[in-house]
């Protein structure tokens, strides 16, 4: 089974735009991209959890900004 590149992106407000992040993830070959528009203080990240369910050994998760994973 071949490995898959997954992308994950998050912005904290609905005013922020995901387009730049999405373009960067596509440029590095992400086959599936998950995104959320939630603040960094929310623990509930349904799309992150959904992505984690897809992961298999050897897969790669790529983010454009590590703060996407942080809960502040």
58: left (phi over 0), alpha (psi -120 to 50) or beta: left
67 pLDDT more than 90: no
Say how far apart CA 54 and CA 30 lie, in whole Å.
14
60: number of Cβ within 10 Å: 13
Give the closest residue to 72 by CA, choosing from 34, 45, 52: 45
Catalytic (active site) residue 3:
no
9, 64 Cβ separation under 8 angstroms: yes
Domain ranges of the chain: 5-69
SS3 (DSSP) at 52:
helix
The domain 5-69 belongs to what CATH superfamily?
Answer: Resolvase, N-terminal catalytic domain (3.40.50.1390)
For 5-64, the pLDDT digits (tens) are 999 998 876 656 788 889 999 999 999 999 987 665 567 788 999 999 999 999 999 998
Q: From the candidates 5, 12, 37, 63, which is the catalytic residue?
A: 12
């Amino acid at each position: 089974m071949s490995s898959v590149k997954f992308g994950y992106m998050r912005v904290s407000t609905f005013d922020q735009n995901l387009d730049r992040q999405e373009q960067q993830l596509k440029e590095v070959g992400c086959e599936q991209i998950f995104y959320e528009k939630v603040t960094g203080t929310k623990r509930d990240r349904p799309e992150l959890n959904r992505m984690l369910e897809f992961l298999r050994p050897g897969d790669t998760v790529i983010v454009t900004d590590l703060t996407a994973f942080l809960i502040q």
